Structure 1
Amino acid sequence: MSSDSSPPSGPPSRRGLIAFAWVWVGVPLAYGVYELVQKATQLFTG
Structure 2
Amino acid sequence: MSTAHIQSPTSKAKLAVFWLYVTLPLAWGVVNTLTQAMKLFK
User: If the length of structure 1 is used for normalisation, what is the TM-score?
Assistant: 0.64
What fraction of aligned residue pairs are identical, expressed as a percent?
34
1:44 matched residue in structure 2 = 41
In structure 1, list runs of 5 or more residues that go unmatched.
1-10
In structure 2, list runs of 5 or more residues that go unmatched.
1-7
Whole-angstrom CA distance in 1 between matches of 2:29 and 2:40: 16
Larger Rg: 1
Task: State how many pairs are aligned.
Answer: 35
1:15 matched residue in structure 2 = 12
Once the two structures are TM-superposed, the CA of residue 12 in structure 1 deviates from its matched residue by 4.4
CA-based RMSD of the aligned residues comes to 1.3
Whole-angstrom CA distance in 2 between matches of 1:27 and 1:20: 11
User: If the length of structure 2 is used for normalisation, what is the TM-score?
Assistant: 0.69
